[in-house]
């Protein structure tokens, strides 16, 4: 085994990451004290080498993405992150340098998001390297952004740009020869290092009627909101915000608008808000320097229509429907 024992691995790489409430990772469990009148929010995600990332991916980026997809779930609830629990299942052939760079990535994002490591577990596995992160946050009691609050007449918004995540995966797989290197780099970074919209989520509390983070693609995720809220929606695909790099990849014939609407891994916030919220949203977009784009409308009729520039249904393929087979 090329790794030191679990105890030593924790001492060297993970104990230095421990935050308030972690009891220095030396007790049986972490203790978290939400502010008076606040609730705790908890979410968990697992990533497996060869399934969710490639064995040759930079370990610090693997760590940061594993953390960020969880923080994105907290953002979607309007919660403020507190910390996280980390489980590493490592093959015996794992290089110690891999663990060191992995821990560096965690340290970098802990500083960026003001969170600490609260606890965890570590095991040797005969299978692929597997990382599981449980993120914990807090939100004013009764104020969490849910998927179930959208009403007919609400507008549908997305933050940032869509499609970059799915297009970045194409780049990671060797695509993108028809676009410039800088555009390839932009898409690859968007795929490898999602930006959890935590500040936006906090600002949407009390303003948005429903929200989630786009992990299955706009179409699939808006359907989740419609089902939870028992409403329908219409999306004007021409309004969907695309990055210049994503547009370039579409123009180069290596991707389609439909893929931008149904591909996952964007980790932008998709939310609904009443018409009166428009001026407040414009102010938030300016303050956060983050586009908030109206892409559609909630209707009483169930079902989701995605319309092209002529108002006709857009052909989407099967991408956005994969959870509904």
Residues in contact with its own copies by the rule CB under 8 A: 5-8, 23, 26-34, 36, 39-46, 48, 50-52, 73-74, 76-77, 79, 85, 87, 89, 118-121, 123-128, 130, 132, 134-137, 139, 141, 144, 146-148, 212-213, 224, 228, 322-325
C-alpha span between 269 and 147 (Å, rounded): 12
* Minimum CB distance to its own copies, residue 27 (Å): 5
* Minimum CB distance to its own copies, residue 145 (Å): 9
Edge-to-edge order in the sheet of strand 269-273? 210-213, 269-273, 155-159, 292-299, 232-236, 303-307
Tokens at 179, concatenated: 């676009």
C-alpha span between 198 and 200 (Å, rounded): 5
C-alpha span between 284 and 298 (Å, rounded): 22
Question: Which residue number, 136 or 222, has a Cβ lying nearer to its own copies?
Answer: 136
* Minimum CB distance to its own copies, residue 50 (Å): 6
Question: Which residue number, 140 or 297, has a Cβ lying nearer to its own copies?
Answer: 140
Question: Which residue number, 233 or 248, has a Cβ lying nearer to its own copies?
Answer: 233
* Minimum CB distance to its own copies, residue 170 (Å): 22
Question: Which residue number, 210 or 242, has a Cβ lying nearer to its own copies?
Answer: 210
C-alpha span between 118 and 129 (Å, rounded): 21
* Minimum CB distance to its own copies, residue 30 (Å): 5
Q: Dihedral through CA 55, CA 267, CA 239, CA 273, nearest 10?
A: 170
DSSP string, 68-103: HHHHHHHHHHTPEEEEEEEEEEE-TT--HHHHHHHH
Question: Which residue number, 50 or 311, has a Cβ lying nearer to its own copies?
Answer: 50
Question: Which residue number, 113 or 167, has a Cβ lying nearer to its own copies?
Answer: 113
* Minimum CB distance to its own copies, residue 164 (Å): 20
Instruction: Map tokens 């109206």 to a residue.
Output: 294
C-alpha span between 155 and 298 (Å, rounded): 6
* Minimum CB distance to its own copies, residue 297 (Å): 22
Crossing angle (nearest 10°) for helices 181-192 and 244-251: 120
249 and 170 Cβ atoms separated by less than 8 Å: yes
Question: Which residue number, 83 or 168, has a Cβ lying nearer to its own copies?
Answer: 83
* Minimum CB distance to its own copies, residue 215 (Å): 9
Name residues whose C-beta falls within 8 Å of residue 5's C-beta, 6 or more positions apart in sequence: none
Question: Which residue number, 283 or 323, has a Cβ lying nearer to its own copies?
Answer: 323
Closest CA to 123 of 3, 247, 288, 303: 3
């Amino acid at each position: 085994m090329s790794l030191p024992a679990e105890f030593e691995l924790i001492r060297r790489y993970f104990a230095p990451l421990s935050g308030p409430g972690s009891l220095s990772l030396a007790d049986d469990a972490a203790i978290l004290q939400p502010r008076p009148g606040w609730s705790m929010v908890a979410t968990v995600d697992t990533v497996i080498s060869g399934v969710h990332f490639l064995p040759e991916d930079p370990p610090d980026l693997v760590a940061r993405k594993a953390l960020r997809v969880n923080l994105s779930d907290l953002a979607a609830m309007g919660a403020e992150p507190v910390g996280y629990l980390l489980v590493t299942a490592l093959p015996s052939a794992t290089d110690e340098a891999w663990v060191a760079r992995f821990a560096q990535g965690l340290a970098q994002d802990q500083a960026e998001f003001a969170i600490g490591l609260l606890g965890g577990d570590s095991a040797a596995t005969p299978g692929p390297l597997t990382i599981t992160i449980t993120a914990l946050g807090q939100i004013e009691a009764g104020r969490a952004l849910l998927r179930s609050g959208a009403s007919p007449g609400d507008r549908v918004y997305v933050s940032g740009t869509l499609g970059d995540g799915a297009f970045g995966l194409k780049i990671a797989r060797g695509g993108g020869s028809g676009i410039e290197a800088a555009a390839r780099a932009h898409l690859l970074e968007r795929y490898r290092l999602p930006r959890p919209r935590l500040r936006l989520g906090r600002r949407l509390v009390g303003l948005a009627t429903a929200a989630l983070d786009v992990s299955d693609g706009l179409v699939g995720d808006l359907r989740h909101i419609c089902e939870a809220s028992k409403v329908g929606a219409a999306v004007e695909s021409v309004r969907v915000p695309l990055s210049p790099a994503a547009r370039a990849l579409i123009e180069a014939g290596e991707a389609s608008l439909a893929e931008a609407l149904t591909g996952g891994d964007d980790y932008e916030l998709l939310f609904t808000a009443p018409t009166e919220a428009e001026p407040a949203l414009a102010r938030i977009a300016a303050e956060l320097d983050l586009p908030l784009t109206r892409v559609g409308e909630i209707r009483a009729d169930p079902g989701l229509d995605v319309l092209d520039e002529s108002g006709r249904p857009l052909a989407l393929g099967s991408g956005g429907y994969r959870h509904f087979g």
